[in-house]
Amino acid sequence: MRYLLPFFVFLGLANARPATGLHAQGTAPATPPPADAAFQVPTTEDTSLLWRITSPDSDTARASYLFGTIHLIPTEDYFLESTVVRAINDADEVYFEIDPRDMQDPTKMMGLMGQIKMRGDTSLQDLLPQARYDSIAEYFSATGMPMFFLEKMKPMFLSAMVGQDMSAGNPLMGGDSKMKSYELELSELAEAADKPIGGLETMDFQLALFDSIPYSVQAEMLYRAVATDMAGEMGETDSEFEEMVAMYRRHAVAEMSQLITDQSAGYGNFEELLVVRRNESWVPIITERLAATPTLYAVGAGHLGGERGVIALLRAGGLTVEPVYP
């Protein structure tokens, strides 16, 4: 599930307001899609990462935009189309899931370190059968990260590291890196164009969401991610990360949304808490700001498609959301 969470470097999850809809341990009932959602959903033919948002009452020349990102991508796979650059220039502001500058602020990052650990004395070894724990420990040790340092971390945080080449570096931390961050690249473009930058969410709330998913469920998800990645390394299948990058390069927002649904199956209301509720919290903000402040919103591409994706929810609210092709 790492593509859902930018985490510092990988992190990104509703500002303080959305937290009111979340229930501990992920027990909240699922929110049904709008009655006409089936007619609002992007199809597999809607291969665009950039979407124009207008309302019947707004000036179409003052549109807002929705752009689907992938939080980290290998440098050789990175691309940015001219339509996105034009959208930034046309917008008054640029908003992300969280403000990318927060992820580069050492003071803020250090303040979050305590939230990475599980509550109490819980350790990963407490949550899994020994054989599964051993597989995870072997996997991380092979990357140069011994379990001694990871034992108490929330399993979802560890899941974000699965499939990542730790030697590739992190573009958000400076220095040489074989990876690129769309958030970082877009924020630099926005700053160069003197556009204000903001966030729909905060890192504090994002990390708090990890506690809404039982640690035992997180641990099982971590094991499955490790097992899938190991199978990819042995050539049995593509890794989840490779599959996601391939979909992103195809601009396949409908496929990316379905991938999240498929991989969330069997894990309670993981998708409801970490995807749908966030989508529902963003839509009123986007709608309210539409007439006054045309904005480019850059969020994970997996949030765009689906019956309760951002595009369908905006359309169900009476807005026009159209793909912008290169």
pLDDT for the residue numbered 205: 76
Specify the pLDDT at position 104: 67
The predicted pLDDT at position 326 comes to: 84
**What is the predicted pLDDT for the residue at 125?**
94
Query: d(Cα 98, Cα 102) in Å, to the nearest integer?
Result: 8
DSSP state of 273: I
| Bridge partners, 295 (sequence order) | 93
Cα end-to-end span (Å), the chain: 29
pLDDT at 100: 84
pTM surpassing 0.85?
Answer: no
Tokens encoding 75: 């440098």
In the three-class reduction of DSSP (H, G, I as helix; E, B as strand; rest coil), residue 220 is classed as helix
Long-range own/partner contacts, residues 194-198 (CB < 8 A, 24 or more apart): 195/88, 195/91, 195/92, 195/93, 195/94, 196/92, 196/93, 196/94, 197/93, 197/94, 197/95, 197/96, 197/99, 197/100, 197/101, 198/93, 198/94, 198/95, 198/96, 198/99
Question: Three-class SS of residue 96?
Answer: strand
**Phi and psi at residue 97, to the nearest 5°:** -60, -50
Low-confidence ranges of the chain (pLDDT < 50): 1-29, 169, 173, 175
CB 17 within 8 A of CB 204: no
